[in-house]
């Protein structure tokens, strides 16, 4: 049976305070977790596995607050491709790349405020968003449409707007992934990315959005598990005193960013950290480097893991590896954020719902190019929608549906849908896969839906075959539209949110039911 730690055991409570685990469950948190919240643990992370509906989520967070009224409840709710509130049906707001393509900071602020309003209504008070990464490497497998764009000034102004909108609803923003995860083609979930840029480039490009977000009052910054040799040749950012305790915390007058808020780590069990240092040592090194809150999020934690990590921190203090004052400072920063969120919850901002803001934004983001002059001729008969699906990265997850197939089926009776993956192209070859799609389409309109076509040879080759056989093929790109347009009509949505799919379907059919708005999370 879990025992409650006496209040006098400051070291133990400080060690628990910096741990931010996840758990399995939807309506009640495990008894061990509630006990550890009473013992001094300050917060948890929630993922799609914890979400069924808005009402259920509010019930779950209320249950957590019974154990600790100022508990930090954090999620990855970026909007767009990375959603937890809408994990089962697709996001009701577009993501960063769509907002950046519109380039209206007021719109971004409104969308972020709506995300904040929904989170606050569900009892969530920290959002691990926005991504302030500049997507400077087209082959980036983990950022892509999660970035506002490729130009530092654009990314900076939309990062600021997002932070302002989100925090206006009383939800703390957590700008990520410091010092910038955009200039790499390696996913830190699986390996350690290395970013070989000089300090001048880093300050002028990667750091500009973070600098702007800190000036705008972002409550939190999340570290990245990336190696930047110009800053530290040996340790990734999350474990580097030069990156966290130095660059991020150092005063502006000394060349730093002067951040005085809470530093979260990215999920500490990601292979870029745990694969090299192990989970326990990774936690110790992160706090020693300057991190305050340790996200433990890939798989649900259990009590044994939390206690093992608590003890690793305590033993590191006792051995002299981790200064006790550094651990206490980290714990105090986490508690301070808890107090801020509790105050914000007790005095909620007047944040009225902006009906349909997500669909409005998605419609504005759609870009259409035509192989011939003249207006787009709407599809008026049945279509065949062939979705060419890349493997989803871990941040996005496999469970969230995407693509305009369902909406086109509703708007164009008789429409059929097929889904294809890289394994299908390996089995049949791109030409063979194209033949299968063409046979399924028959006389119907052909709509090929892709996601980051430029990064997937099998996808690009299959589309080329389809267009060669059917020049009237409509291509819908729902990732980064980096490749040149193909097909009679090429439509870019800049993201795969549900509202992006709806906006694409409306554009292709000419159907614009302005009286309809995207449904909320099913309840």
Indicate which residues carry an active-site annotation: 189, 266
Residue 519, number of CB atoms within 10 A of its CB: 11
86/49 Cα distance (integer angstroms): 11
Beta strands in 240-379, from DSSP E residues, in sequence order: 262-265, 294-296, 367-370
The backbone torsions φ and ψ at residue 117, rounded to the nearest 5 degrees and listed phi first, read -60, -45
Q: How far is CA 179 from CA 24, 77, 137, 195, 207, in A?
A: 31, 20, 15, 10, 6
In contact, 368 and 487? CB cutoff 8 Å: no
Q: SS3 for 260?
A: coil
Q: SS3 for 172?
A: strand
Please choose, from the candidates 113, 122, 42, 153, the residue with its C-alpha nearest in 3D space to the C-alpha of residue 361. Answer: 113
With tokens 């909320």, the residue in question is: 520
Q: What is the CA radius of gyration of the chain?
A: 23
In contact, 441 and 386? CB cutoff 8 Å: yes
Q: How far is CA 390 from CA 7, 48, 393, in A?
A: 51, 20, 9
Please choose, from the candidates 455, 492, 474, the residue with its C-alpha nearest in 3D space to the C-alpha of residue 98. Answer: 492
The backbone torsions φ and ψ at residue 476, rounded to the nearest 5 degrees and listed phi first, read -110, 115
**Which residues, 6 or more positions from 394, have their beta carbon under 8 angstroms from its beta carbon?**
187, 189, 298
Helix (H) or strand (E) holding 74: strand 72-75
Beta strands in 398-443, from DSSP E residues, in sequence order: 416-420
Q: SS3 for 364?
A: helix
507/220 Cα distance (integer angstroms): 38
With tokens 């690793």, the residue in question is: 312
In contact, 227 and 193? CB cutoff 8 Å: yes
| Sign of the dihedral through C-alpha 115, 117, 123, 128 | positive
Would strands 367-370 and 489-492 be described as parallel, antiparallel, or unpaired?
antiparallel
Please choose, from the candidates 286, 217, 292, 210, the residue with its C-alpha nearest in 3D space to the C-alpha of residue 248. Answer: 210
397/41 Cα distance (integer angstroms): 28
In contact, 268 and 299? CB cutoff 8 Å: no
């Amino acid at each position: 049976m879990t025992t409650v730690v006496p209040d006098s055991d400051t070291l133990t409570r400080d060690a628990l305070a910096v741990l931010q685990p996840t758990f399995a469950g939807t309506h009640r948190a495990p008894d061990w977790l509630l006990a550890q919240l009473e013992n001094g643990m300050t917060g948890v992370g929630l993922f799609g596995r914890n979400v069924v509906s808005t009402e259920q989520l509010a019930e779950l967070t209320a249950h957590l607050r019974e154990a600790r009224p100022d508990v930090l409840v954090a999620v990855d709710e970026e909007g767009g491709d990375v959603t937890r509130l809408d994990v089962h049906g697709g996001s009701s707001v577009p993501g960063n790349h769509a907002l950046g393509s519109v380039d209206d900071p007021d719109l971004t602020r409104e969308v972020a405020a709506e995300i904040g309003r929904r989170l606050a209504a569900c009892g969530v008070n920290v959002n691990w968003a926005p991504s302030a990464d500049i997507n400077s490497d087209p082959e980036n497998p983990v950022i892509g449409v999660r970035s506002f764009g490729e130009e530092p000034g654009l990314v900076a102004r939309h990062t600021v707007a997002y932070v302002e909108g989100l925090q206006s609803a009383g939800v703390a923003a957590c700008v990520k992934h410091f010092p910038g995860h955009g200039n790499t083609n390696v996913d830190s979930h699986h390996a350690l990315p290395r970013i070989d840029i000089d300090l001048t480039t880093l300050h002028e490009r990667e750091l500009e959005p973070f600098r702007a977000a800190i000036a705008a009052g972002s409550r939190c910054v999340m570290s990245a598990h990336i190696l930047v040799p110009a800053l530290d040749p040996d340790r990734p950012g999350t474990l580097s005193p030069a990156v966290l305790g130095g660059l991020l915390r150092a005063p502006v007058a000394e060349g730093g960013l002067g951040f005085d808020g809470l530093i979260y780590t990215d999920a500490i069990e990601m292979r870029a950290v745990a694969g090299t240092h192990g989970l326990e040592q990774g936690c110790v090194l992160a706090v020693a480097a300057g991190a305050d809150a340790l996200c433990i999020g890939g798989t649900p934690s259990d009590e044994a893991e939390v206690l093992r990590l608590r003890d690793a921190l305590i033993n590191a203090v006792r051995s002299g590896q981790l200064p006790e004052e550094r651990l206490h400072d980290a714990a105090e920063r986490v508690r301070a954020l808890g107090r801020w969120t509790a105050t914000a919850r007790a005095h909620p901002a007047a944040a009225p719902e902006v009906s349909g803001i997500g669909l409005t934004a998605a419609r504005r983001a759609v870009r259409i190019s035509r192989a011939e002059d003249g207006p787009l001729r709407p599809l008026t008969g049945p279509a065949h929608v062939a979705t060419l699906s890349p493997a989803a990265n871990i941040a996005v997850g496999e469970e969230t549906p995407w693509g305009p197939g369902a909406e086109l089926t509703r708007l164009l009776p008789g429409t059929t849908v097929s889904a294809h993956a890289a394994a299908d192209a390996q089995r049949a070859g791109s030409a063979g896969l194209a033949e299968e799609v063409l046979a399924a389409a028959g006389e119907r309109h052909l709509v090929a839906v892709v996601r980051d076509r430029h990064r997937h040879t099998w996808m690009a080759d299959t589309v080329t075959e389809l267009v060669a056989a059917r020049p009237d093929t409509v291509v819908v790109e729902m990732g980064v539209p980096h490749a040149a347009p193909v097909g009679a009509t090429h439509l870019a949505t800049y993201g795969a949110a549900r509202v992006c799919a709806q906006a694409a379907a409306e554009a292709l059919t000419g159907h614009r039911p302005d009286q309809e708005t995207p449904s909320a999370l099913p309840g």
